Structure 1
């Protein structure tokens, strides 16, 4: 049975108005306990200066962060049980906490887009374009009644002889596993966005009609214990001009547009209901837009 993501998100949005908000945000300088709502950089690179390398959000199922540098990649924090962990774990729980059932940074992004990160695509040169250099990059987080979101605004990005501003927004919903990724181009002309999902030597991949998912071990050395994790993007095929599998990531190039959206989700083998690759593929395959 197919599950419509937009309808389900709306249902959870309505049901959670009077319920506990199971989402959270985090944006702060490394070593600081003070949370910020917005941080700005003219260099566009605060990767080493911010806690968890950029803004972060979570719901009870997973955490997500945007790298505050040229990649603007989406990374995942996997959980083994429902709950909020970001405020205390700060993305890097101790080995003791992980033994007690806390989540961990299992996902390895490297130089890729991660899980639904956003770049631009130059159709003339046939190459991806980082959202870099910039005149200014701004990270923003906000928590509302039943959702939390993070944004990264990259200003004056050079693109095909012009410069434009690109906003990437990622939203999590209380009580709803999937997160929404949106890209906005503030430009007179439409652009080609590039997004996708990465994979590694020990991960299996599956491409469906409207999704791509991966499952397996990521070569991450931050987590105390490795485990199989699943990651997926769910999208409208009609929004894309090409979908190709490269050596370390699937790349989806959009048709000319000024707005693009897709959904991302993740799970791990220690979670209830996701013991295997087959179960994760079955779950992702039941989702539609």
Structure 2
């Protein structure tokens, strides 16, 4: 009997050691660029669930040959489980690269150089003191505009910065830079005089009642409308780098065109990019609801370009804020691209150049938006150059790389 007890204990100990062992899975990821133009900082996104690892993935290492590539795991639904892995890569024309991805059940704290940044800051009772947050929700009739520093989530790449207003407009406001780099953590979207003298950028557009750059709005048949009334309104900061930022603007119970919609507008900004990917997500398939998006008619007198097939852009000059003494006028270029299958018609109102869009029987659709400021030392000197770039940008988006996974 004594021997049996010892033997049982031995098996139990051995089993616990086996259970504690780290689980790993290695896969090969092949990224191909079949097109005649090179790809710079091309996003590569892997759905973790599709890999069927059999364990909870808590860390990952991506390598190209022997070189480790910065990457990040993102939990998209706040269940503390990784949903996607993302990294970026450069691909010459008509080329391919092979990456090795090692997934592990062990949590490893890795630090890569940050090429993007995002933050949600709550105002506190003390001046110039803020609390970092990841989510905020409020009843739809609440005044939410001043709850957060910079009036909503702010996110940036080395090239540009955005913020999403936490109110019924949900507009993207824009921060232009003189030089490439990350500034928002230090300037908090409002650079001091000292920071401005050092060459920091700042707010470059007065969005008024417009859609700014690519904000989704309602459509009443003649003009864009705000996202109201709603039962609840919220924002969530899902990812802040080092490879991409992800920020949600969410509403529940939006009374719109005879329906009650639960909608998320998800903005993803990748390292090396000035364009934001916008995913519009619903919890139920859409019917015939029609929305709109596009670009602001800056100062009501912007130069406009449209290819009439999903791309619309503008270029104009205006005061970015009400203070015309401290600040000077800014010249800004905007562009939005919507895939043709979602387009219903071109439209225009006082504030915007638009496309109306719908996605019957679908629960999501995706489009893209971007901007430039003429203050950029790395940017575009005039509208013609900007519009030409926008056309090449659309072409690049329509020619994605092919990703193959070998498990």
TM-score (normalizing by structure 1): 0.88
Deviation of 1:148 (Å): 0.4
Q: Does 1:59 align with 2:167?
A: no
Any conservation in 2 of the 1:95–1:224 contact (CA below 8 Å)?
no
Q: Deviation digits for residues 117-172 of structure 1, max 9, x if unmatched?
A: 112335xx666453222221121112244100110110111123321211111111
Report the aligned-residue RMSD. Answer: 2.8
Change (3 A) 1:211 1:3: farther
Q: Distance in 1 between matches of 2:337 and 2:130?
A: 35
1:206: which partner in 2? 305
- The one-character-per-residue Cα deviations of 1:33-71 (angstroms, maximum 9, x if unpaired) are 221011111245411221111111111111111111111
Please, which of 211, 215, 219 is the counterpart of residue 315 of structure 2?
215
Q: 1:277 is matched with which residue? A: 383
* Kept after mapping to 2: 8 A contact 1:232/1:284: yes
**CA distance, structure 2, for counterparts of residue 115 and residue 87 of structure 1:** 22
Aligned residue number for residue 46 of structure 1: 144
Q: Say yes or no: does 1:261 pair with 2:366.
A: yes
Taking the aligned partners of 2:258 and 2:358, their CA distance within structure 1 comes to: 19
Aligned partner of 1:83 in structure 2 is 181
Q: TM-score, normalised by structure 2?
A: 0.64
Contact 1:2–1:287 (CA under 8 A) maintained in structure 2: no
SS at match of 2:380: coil
Matched, 1:28 2:143: no
Distance 1:64 1:82 in 2: 15
- Equivalent in the alignment of 2:332: 229
Q: 1:240 aligns with which of 343, 347, 371?
A: 343
Higher RCO, Cα 8 Å, sep 6+: 1
Distance (whole Å) between structure 1 residues aligned to residue 133 and residue 276 of structure 2:
22
Q: Is the 8 A contact 2:334 2:372 kept in 1?
A: yes
Query: Which one has a bigger Cα radius of gyration?
Result: 2
> Does the 8 Å contact 1:273/1:279 carry over to 2?
no
Equivalent residue for 1:286, pick from 384, 392, 400: 392
In 2, Cα distance between equivalents of 1:202 and 1:95: 30
Aligned-residue offset at 1:187: 2.9
Q: How many residues align?
A: 287
Shift of 1:96: 3.5
Q: Distance in 1 between matches of 2:37 and 2:168?
A: 35
Cα deviations by residue, 1:47-103 (Å, 9 ceiling, x for unpaired): 122111111111111111111111111111111111111111111112332233211
- Asked whether the equivalents of residues 235 and 261 of structure 1 are also in contact (C-alpha less than 8 Å), the reply is yes
5+ long unaligned stretches in structure 2: 1-34, 46-85, 91-100, 102-110, 398-407
